[in-house]
Structure 1
């Protein structure tokens, strides 16, 4: 077994004890476990649970500035750990000594779990994370920071023109854009968009909007709207319940123009993970489908992606709702997705979409909505929808069945005891579908490359170890599926100036062996989990989906091509480019024996990150 498939775990007398649930308190952060914790026979062996992966619980997130980190951690356990790490950093030369007794020395791996409370999953969503740390008290460092290897600009406030997009540099062929990243060379932000750009008057005179998302910082979100639009009506679509819902509503109390729509989550452990904006202008209507949460950290120094629709004009008065459909049936699928919420708050928006012309759309919509589906409904959602679209809209070229599939994500769910439980038996078959006659022919021959950041990728990123707070792969899940790690790859983007911006983007694509062509390309909110993509039940006669997800699929046929040519050097961006702007250097590189996948809830103290700190979740 390669070294990236091993962990060393500290011993404890109560490894199998689940921490007690503290009293509920509206003033305390609501913690939800992110990754599955099914029973498994390993050295860890925690109390059995059944829970799919989740990227990071959608809680109110305080605004996070590099020079002014709030002292109150909120959000998921992984993001809380990152927040605490930034607010009270542990310097490399102040590394703590182990706080628990060890029954034997283990030197074969640098990964050590320091507490049995971290080994066992929380028994309730309201469990409060421990905030104590080993070692002597450390003085909080806020302004005095070590020199950044990325240059002095890393710590500076961005100039005003950072938030002004150059429309002449934007490529409208695919309408796929990256987010702007703070602290990198300007050319690597050409053609990229900040949320302030998206909401600015240059794209339309905004009248109302809807924000679908997972994590929210409402005060920060309001500030991203330009002053002239800052009090226009906004609906927030979320999946919060009970205390976390109360906190979200409390954050919006100063803003009378904000209303809420709670997504129904009828199946346990599902999440509202969709990230979408609906923007209604005086001039028309627009849809944005993206990978960023509505928190500052996701728009600061992470690589994110988004699809921006054309400006859809209003149809002539009295037009039937079937008018204005695109060749990709985007209008039908968007309306069907919105109706799946069964929410009165969205009824008016459904009517508005029916009244607009969406015929210019050239992408396919792929959504997930919670439920158990049978018959034709099975192909409406999740990976079976993707399989159906690939079957109907891809045209295989010679030897395409051997083309590798590349999948990138920021969270990983429980896949089962081996690859045949879901990944290879079900999901890989979808990803290797080619045309009507080759729906499963490539599953055995096509390599599957799973791209997930290594510990060193996180350590050397712009944010350093705290970047791992948005990569909540837990030790509890990882220990159950060491077989999965043989699939792991990472980007070595030496020629890409964004290589140090930690990816939070989710991409699934199929590329030629020389990576010069793509058979299709998908950007989505969906991570690598059964909760997001769905899993077959009842001998394949039923599809079960837990979460809301949304993404867009690009197929060459929709652009009158046989394959997409890959744009090798996408920076600086040009509006004359015809190649597809893959946001990372290809090919991805297989993990070496020294590489280890990032696991958020174990310490890393052997090497400092880009801020001179180590990672000690506690």
Structure 2
């Protein structure tokens, strides 16, 4: 190192040490201690000091800011794309964006536990800091892409020795679809992340992806029991795998989940010993419900998904959202009852009766799913379409029922999408409910601004992911539920769109942020069609 460079380095270190000794106080406080489908940039995890070292590369500083900015509570962030943000940085700034290296490349991260549907090891292992000691991968047999021989280098070879692989065997047409990260750090901290992407380079960069990030959780003996932790442990035990019990569940049991006391962990599992999926989700909503609500409101139920499953019935056209989930949540279908064998069943109304009920009870269902035109007008055109599935050509009446009778399909507003990402669809899955006054003119921009509840999950709109009231799910899925019933007083959950609103604008807080436009707009009846991969191939 030259004398000039050495001197600059010494000065930078002295400045950093000087400012580390300061503790900042709020205006009224004496002291404040500085305390995240089936169907690249170093970073640092939160340090005790919030010193900004201006001699560091810009990408490292941005990574610190992103993680430090999300420690006070759970937040949603967009997953940065090396494609869309390469030329035009995300217009709303770094506070809304996270990278895989932000999650994995902390020098204090010692153990990382990953659940996913697909792993590309060449991509994934390059995200980790060299200090990582243990990487536990839970994945479905046949979905882990090994490192190509020509790509192998010393760093990758060393990382391979740190992996403990737990493979899950799944039956045909079912998948280990869960997307979950549990990170443990050398200072007794833990963080949880739920990305919408599997761990491959293409999936991380081509569709729009989002990540839920927990606040910092502490590993400590004294703990506050919360439903989130209880449900997470139930989910882990549903695998009935000794390595998961010994290596993962026992670690989770040491964590204090008190900061997540207002949230619920919702999951699906094929285990016959656990209630999960739709039935469990419905029970949780009923438990948290504060009543039936006023009769002068319109009830809005939105599902944004990357896949739509087949009809619930071969004999009739029945969609999981319009014919079962929404009627259950809205009270059209009564609470399930047990038959003489202890099985829970419901009678699904016909399309005609549901249309009448929806009109009379002021119930409005929405399904946000990409159109063919959205792919055509997106920056990479159809390159991101491989992650979106609705194979309706085999039963066109099913699609026409949803499109023409329920008029349930909605899309992003092309006038408010971001410049860099355009109409590129989001691979996330959100289910949400809100109400608006039916006696007053409805401002479309306010629909889904204040929510009764919102579920962010890995589960697409399919029986495989959710099951039904009487059938078990076939997939593993996880999500996090926000519910106004867990908030003080009559407070609602606030929701904003990454495409319109800057973090924190217009409100002192934001509980949920979504990667699609709000408001969404209905399909153009004359020209919009749901994207169908089979039809695209035929064309």
- Normalising to structure 2: TM-score of the pair? 0.71
1:447 to 358, 361, 364: 364
Identify the structure with the greater helix proportion: 2
Aligned ranges 1:42-191 → 2 under 5 Å: 55-56=38-39, 165-167=65-67, 170=70, 172-181=72-81, 182-183=84-85, 184-191=88-95
Correspondence for 2:380: 463
Correspondence for 2:475: 547
Per-residue CA shift, 1:459-495, capped at 9, x if unaligned?
1123211111111323545636222334211111533
Correspondence for 1:259: 164
- Residue 258 of structure 1, CA deviation: 1.4
Q: Tell me if the contact between 1:364 and 1:552 (Cα under 8 Å) persists in the aligned partners.
A: yes
1:199 aligns with 2:94: no
Correspondence for 1:236: 137
Aligned ranges 1:5-24 → 2 under 5 Å: none
Q: Which runs of 5+ in 1 are unaligned?
A: 1-53, 57-62, 64-157, 537-541, 604-615
Measured in 2, the distance between the counterparts of 1:400 and 1:352 equals 49
Measured in 2, the distance between the counterparts of 1:290 and 1:167 equals 15
Correspondence for 2:402: 484
Measured in 2, the distance between the counterparts of 1:493 and 1:164 equals 33
Per-residue CA shift, 1:271-301, capped at 9, x if unaligned?
0000001111112222212211101123224
Moved more, 289-298 or 525-534: 289-298
Q: Tell me if the contact between 1:315 and 1:357 (Cα under 8 Å) persists in the aligned partners.
A: yes
Give the CA RMSD over aligned residues. 3.4
1:306 to 211, 231, 247: 211
Q: Tell me if the contact between 2:75 and 2:512 (Cα under 8 Å) persists in the aligned partners.
A: no
Measured in 1, the distance between the counterparts of 2:475 and 2:93 equals 32
Correspondence for 2:416: 495
Cα–Cα, structure 1 residues 177 and 398, in superposed 2: closer, same or farther, change >3 Å? farther
Measured in 1, the distance between the counterparts of 2:432 and 2:233 equals 26
Moved more, 215-224 or 579-588: 579-588
Measured in 2, the distance between the counterparts of 1:177 and 1:587 equals 19
Correspondence for 1:518: 451
Cα–Cα, structure 1 residues 190 and 617, in superposed 2: closer, same or farther, change >3 Å? farther
Q: Which runs of 5+ in 2 are unaligned?
A: 1-36, 41-57, 338-345, 347-353, 437-445
Q: Tell me if the contact between 2:122 and 2:146 (Cα under 8 Å) persists in the aligned partners.
A: no
Measured in 2, the distance between the counterparts of 1:424 and 1:495 equals 27
Per-residue CA shift, 1:21-52, capped at 9, x if unaligned?
xxxxxxxxxxxxxxxxxxxxxxxxxxxxxxxx
Correspondence for 1:402: 298
1:587 aligns with 2:519: yes
Q: Tell me if the contact between 1:195 and 1:224 (Cα under 8 Å) persists in the aligned partners.
A: yes
Give SS of 1:220's match: helix
Moved more, 282-291 or 176-185: 176-185
1:324 to 200, 224, 228: 224
Give SS of 1:350's match: helix
Q: Tell me if the contact between 2:121 and 2:147 (Cα under 8 Å) persists in the aligned partners.
A: no
Cα–Cα, structure 1 residues 555 and 465, in superposed 2: closer, same or farther, change >3 Å? same
Measured in 2, the distance between the counterparts of 1:301 and 1:545 equals 29
Give SS of 2:165's match: strand
Give SS of 2:472's match: strand
Correspondence for 2:350: none
1:360 aligns with 2:265: no
Measured in 1, the distance between the counterparts of 2:104 and 2:465 equals 28
Correspondence for 2:504: 574
Correspondence for 1:382: 277
- Residue 314 of structure 1, CA deviation: 1.9
Correspondence for 2:113: 210
- Residue 554 of structure 1, CA deviation: 0.4
Correspondence for 2:32: none
Give SS of 2:235's match: helix
Measured in 2, the distance between the counterparts of 1:493 and 1:500 equals 7
- Residue 345 of structure 1, CA deviation: 1.9
Cα–Cα, structure 1 residues 499 and 387, in superposed 2: closer, same or farther, change >3 Å? farther
1:411 aligns with 2:307: yes
Correspondence for 2:243: 345
Q: Tell me if the contact between 2:307 and 2:460 (Cα under 8 Å) persists in the aligned partners.
A: yes
Cα–Cα, structure 1 residues 421 and 198, in superposed 2: closer, same or farther, change >3 Å? closer
Moved more, 211-220 or 284-293: 284-293
Correspondence for 1:565: 494
Q: Tell me if the contact between 1:213 and 1:237 (Cα under 8 Å) persists in the aligned partners.
A: yes
2:129 to 226, 230, 242: 226
1:369 aligns with 2:269: yes
Give SS of 2:533's match: coil
- Normalising to structure 1: TM-score of the pair? 0.62
Q: Tell me if the contact between 2:190 and 2:217 (Cα under 8 Å) persists in the aligned partners.
A: yes
Measured in 1, the distance between the counterparts of 2:286 and 2:425 equals 33
Q: Tell me if the contact between 2:431 and 2:454 (Cα under 8 Å) persists in the aligned partners.
A: yes
- Residue 315 of structure 1, CA deviation: 2.0
Measured in 1, the distance between the counterparts of 2:108 and 2:534 equals 45
Identify the structure with the greater strand proportion: 2
- Residue 393 of structure 1, CA deviation: 1.2
Correspondence for 1:103: none
- Residue 617 of structure 1, CA deviation: 7.3
